[in-house]
Amino acid sequence: MAAQTILFDFTLDKDKTADEEARQQVAKILRNELEHLFPQLELAYSMESPENGYFAVLHENKDTVVTCRIFQHGLLTLNVEYFLPDGKEPLISFDAMRTVELILRQKFDSDRSKYLPPIKRGGYIDIYMTSSDERIIEYDIDKVVYEGRSPFQKIQIMHSKTLGNMLLLDELQNIAESDLIYTETLMCRGVENYEGKEICILGGGDGALLYELLKENPKHVVMLEIDELVMQTCNKYLSVICGDVLEKRKTDQYEIVVGDCVEYLKKFIGEGRKFDYVFGDLTDIPITDVPEGETWDFIRTIFEHSFKVLKPDGKYLTHGNGSTCKVQLRLFEEQLNLLRPKVKFTTTKAFVPSFMEEWLFYQVTFA
């Protein structure tokens, strides 16, 4: 079940939109052309204003509704909306829409126009996600593979035709089968040497980092993940990126502890246990302009405890945020700069397929 909204816009000469009479002319041309596409189109309502131009509602049997605005600055927007029952073909084909755009562009003598593919609204599967800098990205998701709720979060596995299975936590994209580059950039594969090293992963419930680290022959990896259901889900649906590491909870090479990582870090601090590498693979940086509130507190707490279990030459590796999120990245770095003893950091970045954007990663050491 979904409604379809199709958006067109046309840039017009300003003299075509400057006053009521000119706008009426344009509206008339528009109606004439739309009648070819919608033979029973009726004008239901229109309004005019010297400051805000022309607005009209047209419809065909109250089913397909077309709204049009002619802004006096030289812009016409056209929105077409109708209900598309499941399994039915769209009312208007892509070719027909392109043709409408081209014909209107010509009739309006417009030198710039745009049509967007239909926006599908109300569908059970949400195919529109938003990048970290608030851009719309439509995914080729064709199936909900799994949906569940743990005590901590909503867990979904969606299937994308090109990205494979995708893990969403609380409706945010986390990792997909396509995203080996994410794990490799987080761990700086080829740069860091993990052989014989002791490693602690905070979070990492999707298992991808553990799986890749074990290929590098470390001495031991301990992973502290709070959400049992995330691990069960990823074990079942994301084995392309996590192999079978989530099958067992303890081997000679690694141990997965189900629990609050802060509690376990405190325990390690008490025991004097130290690691060569600590990975922060927990929730994303909060997208907020002010470094306060629970999430930033949580991030600071994680930093503080992590550095207390790091060997003097150890490294803390973590993901940052979309590389266009300058403000949030600066706030993140400010948190790092508050740490005592002082730390210094480098960054790496990669275009992560399932995020459809470039992501930044941090490597932090004692200064």
Q: Report the catalytic residues.
A: 281
**Chain positions contacting a second copy, by CB under 8 A:** 1-3, 5, 7, 9, 11, 44-45, 47-49, 51-52, 55, 57, 59, 61-63, 65, 67, 69, 71, 73-75, 77, 79, 81, 83, 85, 94, 112, 114, 116-117, 119, 121-122, 124, 126-128, 130-131, 133-140, 161-163, 178, 322-324, 351, 353, 356-358
The nearer residue to a second copy, 76 or 202, going by C-beta atoms, is 76
Burial class from Cβ neighbours inside 10 Å (0-12, 13-18, 19+) for residue 355 reads buried
Please, what is the minimum distance in Å from the beta carbon of residue 225 to a second copy?
Answer: 28
Please, what is the minimum distance in Å from the beta carbon of residue 286 to a second copy?
Answer: 13
Sign of the C-alpha dihedral computed for residues 91, 95, 99 and 102 taken in this order: positive
The nearer residue to a second copy, 178 or 235, going by C-beta atoms, is 178
Q: Give dist(CA 333, CA 54) in Å, integer.
A: 49
The nearer residue to a second copy, 102 or 116, going by C-beta atoms, is 116
Beta strands in the chain (DSSP E): 2-11, 42-49, 53-60, 64-71, 75-84, 112-115, 119-121, 128-130, 136-138, 141-149, 154-160, 164-169, 172-176, 198-203, 220-225, 254-258, 275-281, 310-322, 343-352, 357-366
> At CA 302, angle to CA 301 and CA 308, rounded to 5?
95
In angstroms, the Cα distances linking 326 to 171, 246, 286, 287, 359 are 23, 35, 13, 11, 12
The nearer residue to a second copy, 118 or 204, going by C-beta atoms, is 118
Residue type, 320: G
Among the listed residues 89, 86, 44, 36, the one whose alpha carbon sits nearest the alpha carbon of residue 63:
44
Residue 109 backbone class (left: φ over 0; alpha: ψ -120 to 50; beta: rest): left
Please, what is the minimum distance in Å from the beta carbon of residue 292 to a second copy?
Answer: 15
Q: Give dist(CA 171, CA 167) in Å, integer.
A: 9
Please, what is the minimum distance in Å from the beta carbon of residue 133 to a second copy?
Answer: 6
Q: How many CB atoms lie within 10 A of CB 188?
A: 16
Report helix, strand or coil for 113: strand
Please, what is the minimum distance in Å from the beta carbon of residue 325 to a second copy?
Answer: 10
Sign of the C-alpha dihedral computed for residues 239, 241, 245 and 246 taken in this order: negative
Residue identified by tokens 């509690």 is 263
Among the listed residues 321, 306, 302, 313, the one whose alpha carbon sits nearest the alpha carbon of residue 362:
321
Structural tokens at position 160: 């994308």
Structural tokens at position 238: 């994301």
Please, what is the minimum distance in Å from the beta carbon of residue 2 to a second copy?
Answer: 8
Structural tokens at position 362: 């941090």
